[in-house]
Amino acid sequence: METERYDHMREAVFARASQISDDEEELEALLNEIVGQAAKDLGAEFGSPEEFDLDDDPDRADVLLASIEAWASLASYATYEAYAGPIREVGAMHLRLAGWGKGIAANLTRLTKLLGGYLAKVLKPLNAISYSIDMGFPGGVSVGLSWS
């Protein structure tokens, strides 16, 4: 992972997510930026998923998996912070809206497609049998591997 790009986005997400008002367009723009930076970061280090093979390099697969999980965590932090945190009163959501806006869901779907292409490449070198990427409101994106 290109640490500088990721660390910059980490700081930006932390600063911007807590400032999101009742307008979902701010979150949509932030998620769009996260997806774009994740694509640049993963592409710069690994190329496109169609271009590389990690079958004989479990150490590099570990690095890729860590990058995937890190980028998923940024999107999750942004969505959770915008919708649920900080919780103003017990049980109250920050944005008083039911579910994600369609633009939010679209950006999270773009991220899951991007990460899924890379995640498929770590299965064999890490001896995993399957992977999953889940989207859930308000928490965002979750990445998982399964072993037999």
Question: How many structural domains compose the chain?
Answer: 1
0.85 exceeded by pTM = yes
Exposure string over 70-88, b if 16+ CB within 10 A, otherwise e: bbbbbbbbbbbbbbeeeee
Q: What is the pLDDT along the chain (148 residues), one digit of tens a residue?
A: 557 899 999 999 999 988 887 778 999 999 999 999 999 999 999 999 988 888 778 889 999 999 999 999 999 999 988 888 765 555 555 555 667 889 999 999 999 999 999 999 999 999 999 999 999 888 899 999 999 7
- Domain with 119, as residue range(s), is 3-146
Could you tell me the CA-to-CA distances from 42 to 6, 36, 95, 116, 140 in Å, in that order? Answer: 10, 10, 31, 12, 20
